[in-house]
Amino acid sequence: MTPTLVFIYGPPASGKLTVAEELARRAPFRVLHNHLTLDAITPVLPIETPGFWPLVRRVRREIVSTAAAAGVNLVFTYVFAPGEEHIVDEIATLYPRVLYVRLTAPREELMRRVGNESRRRFGKPVTEEALAEILTEWDVFQPIPARESLTINTATTSPGRAADLIVAAL
């Protein structure tokens, strides 16, 4: 089978990691979620450090490139905002087959979820104030332009059902 990348994107607290983990339970996928690289780098370099984000991008690209070359099916999670299409391309072009999955949920639902204990294990925003700042600064509700995406509303779809929809789309 051709190595496959499932590129899951959506706003913070939309359930990207939860859905990715459910998918990995149902199909032979490994999960590279966006906070793995952030959590590896921030103990050494604070986010404000010049060069921080280019380093994060290089590390992610190297992991994904190596996984693709090894034939690993991979789920990659990302918080996309318009203007970051080039970052999406840096990852997606490494795989011969890509399924884009856009997770959505109303702002009120994201605010309800942001404090969930599961978010604390990976330095994710865990307060309504932190989430509100992100949602104000970045338009994270937009689809990635020119890429057909399977869109799933996680306010009305359970993580297990979302994973089943992804498996069906593959």
pLDDT in tens, 16-73: 999 999 999 999 999 998 888 888 898 999 989 999 999 999 999 999 999 999 999 9
Domain contains 51: yes
pLDDT greater than 80 at residue 136:
yes
pLDDT band with cut points at 50, 70 and 90 for residue 120: low
Residue 106 sits in a domain of what CATH number? 3.40.50.300
- Please state whether 113 falls in left (phi above 0), alpha (psi between -120 and 50) or beta: alpha
Q: Is 9 exposed, middle or buried (0-12, 13-18, 19+ CB in 10 A)?
A: buried
Residue 59, pLDDT score = 95
Residue 113, pLDDT score = 75
pTM of the model: 0.90
115 vs 8, which has greater pLDDT? 8
Domain contains 17: yes
Our count of domains for the chain comes to 1
pLDDT greater than 80 at residue 130:
no
Domain contains 129: no
Domain, as residue range, for 47: 4-110+139-169
